[in-house]
Structure 1
Amino acid sequence: MRISITSPASLLARCSTGQLWLIGMLIAALVAGFVPAARVILATGFWLMVPGYLLERRMPGERPHWLLRIAIWNGLGLSLVPLLYLWVTAVGLAIPVGLLISVAILLAVVALYDAWRDLAPVQVRSSVTGWLLLSVLAISAWLRAVQIADLAFPAWVDSVHHALMVRVAAETGRVPWTLTPYLPVTDMPYHWGYHVLIAAAWHLGRSDLPAMILWSGQLLNWIQGFSAAALAFLIWRRPLAAVIAAAIVGCISWMPAYYVSWGRYTQLSGLLQIVALAIGWQQCLDANTRRERLGWLFLNTLIITGLSLVHMRMFVFGGALIAVQSTVWALHQTRPAIVSRLVEAMGAGLVALILAGPWWFVLVRQILLPAATGARSLTSGGSYVQLSDSLMWIGPNEWLVTLALFAGVVGVFYRQRAAAVMVLWVGVLVVLSNPWLISYLAPPIGLVLILYAVVQRTWLIGGVGLLLLAINPLTVRLPFLWLLPVDITAISLFLPLSNLIGGSVALIWPQRRWTQMAAIALLLGCTLWGAYQQRTIVNPVTILATSADRVALTWIAEQTPPTARFLINAAPWLPGVARGTDGGWWILPLTGRWTSTPPVLFIYGEAEDVQATQQRSQRIIDLGNGQEVDIASLIAAERIDYIYTSPKGPLRPELFAGQPGYEAVFAHEGIVIYRVIR
């Protein structure tokens, strides 16, 4: 009996280039697993990609372009994981850590098996646009890493309550609706889909919580360039449009890179789902068979459901985009086809409402019912609804908006439906965030409908026209909606702007070889220039905690009892809501100790608790404003055990140094923690 031994080299020779790429990525992942930041990226990427890949590959019909598929996987991952947590919580159960890790291992094994089979016939061919896209994405990845190289903690306000919600989800294995024992908050109507996905990744990545949020957030930010490329390829059907859109979003536009200064990771997640939804919906509209169409409709239902769990504002924005897609598509379709798609969409919407039922029940009970009884308002005003010029025209936005307007003209000149979709989407977003525009737009639309009705003798349309004519600034004044402030639209415009510019540049791209080379050099030059300008994009004002605070927080976790109560610095933020000013604000989410100014989620608690917290923080703010404040009585009334002082707030070290009743128990780089002696 002869036994033949096959060498590794001969085995590799039998592999397709696609399989060789897979082997290379697995080896790189194993090596990167020894680096904490890389583990965070791998763990987050696992939940973003693997569940969606396994589900999408089992759908009927022909698979779309790989760029579109990866964007869909991200949208599905951001939907399937929250949906799992939602229904586990709704039935009163929890997800144990051991079960979560076991499921992850099983999914990884199945995904590797499926990927090996899928890549067996794949022979990767290089192209100029492919290498350009990889180059742009590589520069963007480097940029996202450089931008947070000096950060010890995620920046600003949102990051603090993100950390608390991730911790609660990781500890309980449930949706973080209830924040006890950290905060007296139950049935919290705050979106949480992002937080449970990061909690699941945290169990796999085994990193500290600030690093988990920072690096996973930058991964989400980097994927925005990839996602913008996928949307441009979908709308324009031109690979070059995808490259240019990725370059703008990843390296040139200051949004979404600036999101790291706010910790706006939930909106980043929602934007990824919007692109996945747009891709899935276009596939559904263009499907050749009913079976294929229903398969895509199923995926769309999951994504739109997940979007409502991740970010409600992006849920509205996504709905606006697919409505515009449907309108442009319907202009060239028969009435039966339009009615069929409409019925299917309504059915999908009903299923999505059922799937997210427990979450909508919380929203109705906590937001809509109080609004109906007058206890809460869904409208807003003042500075909250005003457009911030500094956000609208940040960085090169003046040039990008100008280019996008020119691009829109080019798209219309070439009769491109893609230009119509993007322009109409921007228009709808502007109207949604500025409802007063409706009273100015309705009369001319009504007049056109009336003229059409007279010519065609269609009296029903004429009635609609009369109704719209009656909606005018003299008769109707529409308020601003609390859910859709103008600034949210302004900082989301990078997606349609990059799409318009990318598609129109692709239309007029030169055909001669030497002019193409010059254009490519210009594109890469602009990409590198933009990346260089953005390397220090984090606003220093939004950096509350530093590496010195990390040392102090480690000491607190190790040297103070879990029941310790801390007095910390505070400053005004939104009306009636205070924020921390230094690392003391991270004490609660990282160590579980009580703080005088908690994360802003306290506003979802009972009215008495909210008022007491606001008054407590206001006394520290008054101290910072130079007012006379009896700190000793505050310390006694709140049973304070420790005081976290730093140069970044009213509670400075010199205020307690040498004073009787206070003992300095920790000091490091300007941060001094005093113990109250009773």
Structure 2
Amino acid sequence: MFPALVDLLAWLPGALVAAPLVALGALALFMLPGLALLRLLPLPVPVRPAQYLAAALALSWIVPPLLLLAADLLGLRWGPLATWAVLLLAALVVFWPRHKAAPARPWYDAELGLLLALWGLTLALRLYLVRELPAGLFGDSYHHTLITQLMVDNGGLFRSWQPYAPLATFTYHFGFHSMAAWLHWLTGYPVLRAVLLVGQVAAALAVPGVFLLTSQLFGERTIALWAALSVGLLSVFPTYYVNWGRYTQLAGQTVLPATCFVWMLLLQQARQPKLTWQRLAAPALLAVLATTGVALAHYRIGVFAACFVALYALYLLLMHVRSWLPALRMFFVAILVGSTGVVFTLPWLLRLREGRMLQLANHMVTTNIGATSGNAPSPIDLERTLANGMLPLALLGLLVLLLRRRWLALLLPLWLGIIWLAANPYLVGLTGAGIISSFAVIIAGYIWLAPLAGAGLAALVDGVGWLVGRVAAGRQAQAERFVIVLLATACILWGVGAQSNLLDPNFKLLTHADLHAAAWMREHLAPEAKVFVNSFPAYDAYVYAGTDGGWWLPLISGHRTNLPPMSYGFEAAEDPQFALLVMEYNQAILEHPLESAAAVAALRQWGYRYLYDGPAANPPVEHIDPARLADVPYYERIYDRDGVTIWRVR
């Protein structure tokens, strides 16, 4: 515990000094757009400074994808100049003096200070985890980095994946990649590292995000701060996402709390008796933009948001609406804003027809294949979600809230239940299981657990204070303060140590040795040379994936390999038969031991003149084995350094 905290504090100053422009640029990127949005489109009611900042941090993530989509529709190219111009304009909006005096309220309070401290500590932890990595981990990180690089190369959204892969459509949700590309344009930070940094910032933004959702649901500062602490330092997720490069889902879950927050304020305002469209216009437009932003960040998380809005509207109707007129207003506003959000997203959704996503979704609906394979809950990931006391704390929090007649607490398990049914519709006799995967729901569990765990931690403090008050009259407040300090300190010390150990090096595919080898390849291999790298059939043999840094070669060395990015499974290719060809040539080569004449013949037939084996191995059993190929006359070893071996096929 203590060594981890000491190491973190020793590393942090040097990291900030080493890259001050990146630190300042990232701070501007993750704060200014959201603050400007809230200045231009004010919230309908005053909120506390901590809530305001938390909303701004999340809403900043919707601005880059919305502007890139608008630029694409207008045929405009994006780049560093446009990025700087937008952020300077945002700064002007944020700091421009008000024409009339704003209502007197403090811009800073203890709650904001504590939230900033928790977020700062969590952010430092997330960045400390990846301090020595050259790029993101596992398979998802490769295509996320490739998409970001293509955005940079093309000046925004694109269709062709050349020169890295022969794909001809881009239909993937792109909110995360927009942020990474903007960070590169803003600071010049290398794309490989920008993807990693933005992903880790998103993981840290779970702290203000959960705080925002909790504070609006339960209205108690203490519960919201404990919830923020639990997601930042106790919960395994979302920190563990780093091992998978699961950053697009994380981007959606970064925008989700602010989307829910804005919709809650909008629906509350819509049921007021003296409603004017002038007062409703700004929050309505903000809700439209947030709805569009969460959909562009991640399609599945857009469904999460829609489920929440429907449930919250139902709660207001059942608990707070006593006549048909406010109910009608709420319904009209919800339909108008929701449909406008769909219209704003429609230009992008129409592009889905170009790729293969709709075909895959239709296949899942018609065959209901997800009901029997590929969508089963993962016991290991469920255990991670519930670990470190999150489940008992959440159950305690739910019990205490219900005993206090805080019925809104039921919204969280009901929300989770509806999303679980959306992921497993066969439970109610419907098809389409797997379109929203059970895995995606399970690893998002902190969204529902952390607010209730915050209530559980607050209940523990209250309980100890009550017991002390029974024993020593007049000491209850003192005891509660002491318990708060003690419990928070224990959580921080334990959490820093636990969170520091969540990165699993077995998920590392790309290493520094691969980058050095790629530089050598650019000098010594012809640009048109094709390289065979380690591969294996993944997702029930639907696609082929890589096991080491060789998968990254098209991006880092410029050479074609036998492995396109995983996105070839849902994008359309230049050749309609491309996906079948990938399967055919991988199968043709992998079915023979590489030391055999048959394997060499297959390599030559498909045009592969080199073999590449990197230091990583996940899964650990690889087809290219340097020990077995050492004395095979069919190959000439031309590179052998730091675990990377390259052979020429004779």
Counterpart contact for 2:424–2:434, Cα < 8 Å: no
- Select 1:306's aligned residue among 293, 310, 315: 293
Which amino acid in structure 1 is aligned with residue 580 of structure 2? Q
Does the 8 A contact of 2:398 with 2:452 survive in 1? yes
**Which runs of no fewer than 5 residues in structure 1 stay unpaired?**
1-28, 439-476
Give yes or no for contact 2:364–2:434 (8 Å, CA) kept in 1.
no
Residues 402, 192 of structure 1: CA spacing in aligned structure 2 closer, same or farther, 3 A cutoff? same
Query: Equivalent residue of 1:579, what SS?
Result: strand
Structure 1 residues 42 and 177: alpha-carbon distance in aligned structure 2, compared to 1, 3 A threshold: farther
State the partner residue of 1:355: 344
- Residue of structure 2 in register with 1:101 after alignment: 84
What is residue 473 of structure 2 aligned with on the other side? none
1:561 CA drift (Å)? 4.0
Partner Cα distance (1:119, 1:520) in 2: 36
SS of equivalent to 1:57 = helix
Which letter does structure 1 place at the counterpart of 2:119? Answer: L
What SS does structure 2 have at the residue aligned with 1:571?
strand
Q: State the match for 1:391 in structure 2.
A: 381
Partner of 1:588: 554
Determine if contact 2:41/2:285 at 8 Å carries over to the other structure: no
Contact 1:75 1:303 (C-alpha < 8 Å) held by counterparts: no
SS in 2 for 1:356: helix
Q: Which residue of 2 aligns with 1:457?
A: none
Equivalenced residues, count? 608
Mark the CA change 1:202 to 1:578 in structure 2 (over 3 Å): closer, same or farther: same
- Distance (Å, rounded) in 2 between the aligned partners of 1:376 and 1:124: 51
Q: Does 1:422 align with 2:395?
A: no
Match of 1:317 among 292, 304, 310: 304
1:514 aligns with 2:479: yes
Distance 1:134 1:310, change over 3 A: closer
After superposition, where does 1:592-611 map in structure 2 within 5 Å? Answer: 592-603=558-569, 604-606=571-573, 607-611=576-580
Which whole-Å deviations, capped at 9, do the CAs of 1:195-244 have from their partners, x for residues lacking one? Answer: 12211211112122221111111111011112111111111111111211
Quote how far apart the aligned CAs of 1:304 are: 0.8
Q: Give the aligned partner of residue 436 of structure 2.
A: 484
Shift of 1:253: 0.6
User: Cα gap change, 1:598/1:370 in structure 2, threshold over 3 Å: closer, same or farther?
Assistant: closer
Aligned to 2:603: 635
1:89 to 72, 75, 84: 72
Are positions 1:198 and 2:180 aligned together?
A: yes
Q: Paired residue for 2:222, among 235, 240, 244?
A: 240
Tell me if the contact between 2:237 and 2:444 (Cα under 8 Å) persists in the aligned partners: yes
2:503 counterpart of 1:538: yes
CA distance in 1 between counterparts of 2:597 and 2:55 reads: 56
Could you give the per-residue CA deviations for residues 374-432 of structure 1, whole angstroms, max 9, x where no partner exists? 69858432442111110001175273223212321211111113312222212222222
* SS class of match (1:157): helix
Report how far residue 246 of structure 1 moved. Answer: 1.1
Query: What's the counterpart of residue 254 of structure 1?
Result: 236
Which stretch shows the higher mean deviation, 83-92 or 313-322?
Answer: 83-92
Per-residue Cα deviation, 1:145-169 (whole angstroms, up to 9, x for no partner): 2322342321111000001100111
Matching residue's letter, 2:37: L
The yes-or-no answer on 1:565 pairing with 2:568 is no
Report the Cα offset of residue 172 of structure 1. Answer: 0.4
Equivalent residue number for residue 145 of structure 1? 127
Aligned counterpart in structure 2 of residue 433 of structure 1, from 423, 428, 433: 423
**Aligned partners of 2:288 and 2:442: how far apart in 1?**
28
The one-letter code sitting in structure 1 at the alignment partner of 2:479 is W
CA contact (8 A) 1:426 1:496 kept: yes
Mapping of residues 222-301 of structure 1, within 5 Å: 222-287=204-269, 289-290=275-276, 291-301=278-288
**Unaligned stretches of 5+ residues in structure 2:** 1-11, 466-475
How many Å apart are 1:278 and its aligned residue? 0.9
CA deviation after TM superposition for structure 1 residue 565, in Å: 1.9
Counterpart pick for 1:652 among 621, 625, 633: 625
Output the CA distance in 2 between the equivalents of 1:492 and 1:590. 32
CA, structure 1 residues 537+404, in 2 after alignment: closer, same or farther (shift >3 Å)?
Answer: same
In the TM superposition, what is the alpha-carbon distance from 1:366 to its structure 2 partner?
A: 4.2
TM-superposition CA deviations, 1:491-546 (whole Å, max 9, x none): 11111111112135446734521233123311320232122122121223311122
Gap change, CA 1:324 and 1:163, over 3 Å in 2: same
The equivalences for 1:324-403 within 5 A come to 324-331=311-318, 332-333=320-321, 334-364=323-353, 366=355, 370=359, 379-381=368-370, 382-394=372-384, 397=387, 399-403=389-393
Q: Which amino acid aligns with 2:611?
A: I
Tell me what 1:666 maps to.
639
Contact 1:578-1:618 at 8 Å conserved across structures: no
Deviation larger for 375-384 or 131-140: 375-384
- Secondary structure, in 3 states, of the residue corresponding to 2:577? helix
User: CA offsets per residue over residues 639-663 of structure 1, 9 Å max, x none?
Assistant: 2243212463322334544555644
CA contact (8 A) 2:365 2:433 kept: no
Which residue, 540, 550, 564 being the options, matches 2:515? 550
- 8 Å Cα contact 2:202-2:250 kept in structure 1: yes
Match of 1:525 in 2: 490
Q: 1:622 to 1:104 in 2, by over 3 A?
A: farther
Q: In 2 relative to 1, CA 486–141 (structure 1 residues): closer, same or farther, beyond 3 Å? A: same
Residues 396 and 525 of structure 1: CA distance in aligned 2, closer, same or farther (over 3 Å): farther
Q: Measured at CA, do residues 630 and 330 of structure 1 come closer, stay the same or move farther in structure 2, by a change above 3 Å?
A: same
- How far the C-alpha of 1:318 sits from its partner, in A, is 0.9
Measure, in 2, the Cα distance between the counterparts of 1:254 and 1:632.
46
Conserved 8 A contact 2:531-2:609: yes
The one-letter code sitting in structure 1 at the alignment partner of 2:638 is V
Please identify, of 536-545 and 276-285, the stretch whose mean Cα deviation from structure 2 is larger.
536-545
SS in structure 1 opposite 2:384? Answer: coil
> Is contact 1:408–1:500 with CA below 8 Å preserved after alignment?
yes
The alignment partner of 1:325 has SS state of helix
Q: Distance in 2 between matches of 1:670 and 1:371?
A: 39
Shift of the alpha carbon at 1:337?
Answer: 1.1
Deviation of 1:362 (Å): 1.8
2:49 is matched with 66
Q: Deviations over 1:591-647 (max 9, x none)?
A: 3321111211122234411111122233454457x9967332233223224321246
Deviates more, 1:236-245 or 1:104-113: 104-113
Question: Residue 74 of structure 1: SS of its match in structure 2?
Answer: helix
2:446 corresponding residue in structure 1: 494
Give TM-score scaled by structure 2 length.
Answer: 0.85
Change (3 A) 1:200 1:132: closer
State the AA in 1 paired with 2:598. D
Alpha carbons 1:177, 1:186 under 8 Å: kept: yes
| Aligned counterpart for 1:616 among listed residues 585, 588, 601 | 585
Q: Distance in 2 between matches of 1:664 and 1:407?
A: 62
SS in structure 2 at match of 1:643:
strand
Q: Give the aligned residue type for 2:448.
A: P
Q: Is the 8 A contact 1:572 1:621 kept in 2?
A: no
Identity score, percent: 25
- The CA deviation at 1:262 is 0.5
The one-letter code of the counterpart of 2:577 is E
Separation in 1, partners of 2:431, 2:361: 16
Deviation at 1:489, TM superposition (A): 1.0
User: Against the structure 1 CA distance between its residues 364 and 70, is the aligned structure 2 distance closer, same or farther, given a 3 Å change threshold?
Assistant: farther
Contact 2:364 2:435 in 1 (8 A): no
* 1:201/1:132 CA distance change after superposition, 3 Å: closer
Retained in 2: the 8 A contact 1:407–1:505?
yes
**Counterparts of 1:668 and 1:400 in 2: how far apart (Å)?**
45
